[in-house]
Structure 1
Amino acid sequence: MNSFGIADLVLFLGISQGVFLAITLSLLHNNNRPANRILSFMLMIASLMLVGRIFYPRFQDVLFFRIAGFVDTLIFVFGPMLYTYIRRLTFYESPNYKISKYHFIPAALHLCFFSWTLFYSSDDIKTMINNGDFNVIYFIVETSGLLSNILYVFLSYQLIRVYKIEEKNNLSYAQNVQTFLWFLLLGVSVFLILWIIGYANYFLRLRELRFISYHLIWISVPIFIYIVGFFSLRQPEIFRIPVVKKQKVQKERLDGKELEILKKGLEDLMVQKKIYLNNELTLKDLSEELNTSTNNVSWLLNNIHKCSFYDYVNTYRVQEFISKIQKGEHFQHTILALSLDSGFNSKSTFNKAFKMIKNDTPSNYIKKLNTT
């Protein structure tokens, strides 16, 4: 039996944190519980695979071979679950998004094959292993598993790009979820890159990067777990944020009296009621105030005002902030306090919006204002 080393300690830490996070996130009561359930399942998958990686080199008997074969089915489950998690986290859909069953056909086939091996005795399995009868199966399983995960990671990146657009069309404030998801996918991508290199070394006899072994590849799995752990501690609101709802494109356009009523109602809400002071204002909130659909409001903003919902609302917030500065309120209050009173929900959102609209930083703008 091989002794345990530093690498095994890293894997053990990943396992313990993965199990802890999986249990904790599954117990959170918030708007993103459907997404967190998927994330908990993914963490358990990662932890279980790490357990197998620790003990497989030390107990290479037939029983463990059978167990490891069934556990390897999880490599075909992780990709679809990753895509489902990101979609549930970023988009509100009723009922909750469920990935089609055909995505799990590779996992089912893999499970069926290793179920078939149960009909063979331990001696038969040993003989088949020694004769290399499983080599082709290993190649097919690893190749298809690798390609499957690459595909779902690519689809997940595409989903974040769509979310980035939808966020500006539906929310008047920026969320930190994009940073979390980019780091999450980066961690998964590191694992895939190392896996590709290890695959090339083993099956294609590519020796230029032979120092990247399969053991090193599995050490990268805790990166995924550590990223989730870091953000769950530093930015727990990510797992509680309200999400963006996917909008269907409206084909017909507004015109005539309906358009004028909607334009007037929108102006009244912004100028008279100052609805933009609500720092969690969403497109849905605005459409409900106007007693119309979100599609109608989106069409009005995109085609008449030529901007996104995010830019439209934050333009009013910036003007509100400037109005406070012109009244000299910055001498009694901080810039952050004034920005929050103007409807912004964070310093980063305020700075980004202000620079985009005024092409200057708030502090520099105030400095120029004071010198005139």
Structure 2
Amino acid sequence: MRTASLNRELELFLAGVGATQSLWMALYSIFERKRDFRNLLLFIFFISITVRLTKSILWVYLDQSPLWFINIGFAAHALSGPALFLYAWHFLFEKRWSNWNLFHFLPALILLVGFKSFSLDEFWYAGGYTSLLTHQLVYSLLSLGILMIYSFNGNHKVLSRTAFMWIIALIVGTAVLQFLYFSNYMLGLTPYLLGPIIYLPFIYFLAFLLFKNPTIIKPNKGTKSQNIRLTEGELSEIANQLEVLMVSKKMYLDPNCTLGKVAHELRLPLYLVSHTVNNQIGKSFPDFLNGYRVEEIKKRLVHPDFTNNTIASIAYDCGFNTLSSFNIAFKKTTGTTPTRFQKKNKTV
């Protein structure tokens, strides 16, 4: 565990900078907490990483590290995995907090309670450290798993690019750190401080993203529409996708077209499409859909190919289920009745 092949001064500097930056991130998270448990989990994660990196530095550069601090460092290690997993889970899926989540922290609690009694030879070298490394690697894989599930389902489009890069860097960077600790002790492939050194660019990238968009860790108000972290430009792009879909596939001609079908076609969450229609386009979904139907009907009412079609049949062919809903929508859009519109605009 004490082996390291890099320059000692360089190792000390890089690992120390990483620990310091992680401490800054922890303090920033807690000051932005505002009773939001997600940022409390983020604080726990960063402070545990800070303690773990500091323990690694002292382990290498002190001839004799205090046993109590070694145990606290390992307890912090046990804390980091569950804290990140729960943060990622609630950041991505907006689940409500459950007190059952506290059981994830039980191993760390046991280590903290017994920080004066766990010895190196009789506990850590006898399987304790192996269990700890495996425990953390499992949590890293779980965090990567929920990130992949979230991405493959298309939900990542709900987040801004910055927010999505933030959670990717957080999970991947931590997974790399945990694997390199595992690789050093279990596989003997990497230097002991390689993990803290490789983690350095990740922690600085996270700091850059947080500086670029502090709202990443701002608490949300609780509703799904308020939780949307997209910029105006990104919402405008979704509005454009909606327009392209309507023009290219003419989904409005389907009398059973629903918001759910449109969301499925766009591979976007239903509430995001609803939010875009209501707030970006400024219409209710029925008005949005009927607007396209009325425009199609207006074209057919004056086109020679539909001279022998009744107004009712044109309305039904364009997606309306009843004549009453058609007449209301048509007059709301055009300010006149279908019959008057046809007489006024029909070419001879």
What is the TM-score when the length of structure 1 is the normalising length?
Answer: 0.54
Measure the CA separation in 2 of the matches of 1:25 and 1:156: 20
Report the AA paired with residue 138 of structure 2.
L
In the other structure, the counterpart of 2:218 is 240
Matches within 5 A, 1:1-372: 5-28=9-32, 33-61=36-64, 64-94=66-96, 96-98=97-99, 100-111=101-112, 114-116=115-117, 133-134=121-122, 137-164=124-151, 168=155, 174=160, 176-202=162-188, 209=189, 212-240=190-218, 242=220, 300-302=258-260, 306-307=264-265, 308=268, 309=270, 310=272
The answer to whether the 8 A contact 1:80-1:99 is kept is no
Deviations 1:212-259 (A, max 9, x none): 21122332343443232121112323223748868xxxxxxxxxxxxx
Measure the CA separation in 2 of the matches of 1:178 and 1:244: 19
The answer to whether the 8 A contact 2:33-2:39 is kept is no
Measure the CA separation in 1 of the matches of 2:221 and 2:149: 13
State the Cα distance separating 1:68 from its structure 2 match: 0.9
The answer to whether the 8 A contact 2:15-2:57 is kept is yes
Measure the CA separation in 1 of the matches of 2:148 and 2:276: 22
Deviations 1:107-150 (A, max 9, x none): 24434554335xxxxxxx7xxx7xxx43x632522221222122
State the Cα distance separating 1:21 from its structure 2 match: 2.1
The answer to whether the 8 A contact 1:22-1:43 is kept is yes
Report the number of matched residues: 246
Deviations 1:11-40 (A, max 9, x none): 22222222222222221266x942222212
SS in 2 for 1:214: coil
Report the AA paired with residue 83 of structure 1.
F
Report the AA paired with residue 101 of structure 2.
S
The runs of 5 or more residues in structure 1 that have no matched partner are 118-124, 203-208, 247-275, 281-298, 324-372
The answer to whether the 8 A contact 1:90-1:244 is kept is no
What is the TM-score when the length of structure 2 is the normalising length?
Answer: 0.57
Measure the CA separation in 2 of the matches of 1:45 and 1:169: 28
Measure the CA separation in 2 of the matches of 1:163 and 1:244: 19
* Percent identical: 18
Measure the CA separation in 2 of the matches of 1:213 and 1:169: 35
Q: 1:215 to 1:245 in 2, by over 3 A?
A: same
State the Cα distance separating 1:6 from its structure 2 match: 1.4
State the Cα distance separating 1:187 from its structure 2 match: 0.9
Measure the CA separation in 1 of the matches of 2:55 and 2:234: 50
Report the AA paired with residue 5 of structure 1.
E
Q: 1:232 to 1:169 in 2, by over 3 A?
A: closer
The answer to whether the 8 A contact 1:74-1:107 is kept is yes
State the Cα distance separating 1:278 from its structure 2 match: 12
Measure the CA separation in 2 of the matches of 1:20 and 1:277: 31
In the other structure, the counterpart of 2:340 is none
The answer to whether the 8 A contact 1:26-1:40 is kept is yes
The answer to whether the 8 A contact 2:89-2:95 is kept is no
Measure the CA separation in 1 of the matches of 2:184 and 2:33: 41
Larger radius of gyration: 2
